[in-house]
Amino acid sequence: MSAWDAIRFYRDAQHQIGALQRRGHVRQAKRMHRRIRRCRQDACHKFSRKMINTYQKIVVGDVSSLKLAKTRMAKSVLDSGWGMLKRFLQYKGECAGRTVQIVNERNTSRGCSSCGALSGPSGLRQLAVRHWECAHCGESHDRDVNAARNILSAGSRCGTSVSGNESSPAERAPSQTSRLREAGSDAQRVAA
């Protein structure tokens, strides 16, 4: 199960919890809550482990879950365990000697990754727009791919010392092969 399959999981379970609570089955409802929490955590662990084992450098947008939590988007943002996933990526990345950067996500959806013009869809109301064409250079974009490109280039611009990325570059002296070996043994430890 990918981390993002877990997003829907909570919502389906919500109905069941609601029904249990209405019928006064408090303990069963609580048990269901715990199950959801475990599933979400498990999905975040698996996804972050896969990312850390596959990539040397990972750049994550700093989606403000607190700000979004006040909107109608709240449920899906909280469902996805975004904050948890970021924490897992950071500590696992640090152990494995990876570069994990958290970058400012401002304008990464609006900005055209080809020419930089702010011609894309903006605001919560336009979240439904999945594909768009840059009015400036004519390039057509997939919303998520375009935003990911912008986040990645924001990561290259601001170097390695970004807030949230505590490990210093000097600590990452070992060669690529020893890093991979470390990552491998770490994965074994996790699996054991």
Rule CB under 5 A: is residue 153 a binding residue for Zn ion?
no
Question: Of 60, 74, 54, 161, which Cα lies nearest the Cα of 103?
Answer: 60
- The CB-of-158 to Zn ion minimum distance in angstroms stands at 22
CA 169/CA 162 separation, integer angstroms: 11
CA 53/CA 97 separation, integer angstroms: 11
Cα-Cα-Cα-Cα dihedral sign, residues 68, 109, 99, 80: positive
Rule CB under 5 A: is residue 134 a binding residue for Zn ion?
yes
- The CB-of-145 to Zn ion minimum distance in angstroms stands at 14
User: From the list 21, 65, 114, 122, which residue makes contact with Zn ion (rule: CB under 5 A)?
Assistant: 114
Quick one: 3 or 134, whose CB is closer to Zn ion? 134
CA 166/CA 182 separation, integer angstroms: 19
CA 3/CA 144 separation, integer angstroms: 17
Quick one: 43 or 134, whose CB is closer to Zn ion? 134
Rule CB under 5 A: is residue 136 a binding residue for Zn ion?
yes
Give the DSSP H or E segment for 89.
Answer: helix 82-96
Contact segment (CB under 5 A) with Zn ion among 53-61, 81-89, 114-122, 160-168 equals 114-122
Quick one: 119 or 165, whose CB is closer to Zn ion? 119
Binding site for Zn ion (CB under 5 A): 112, 114-115, 117, 134, 136-137, 139
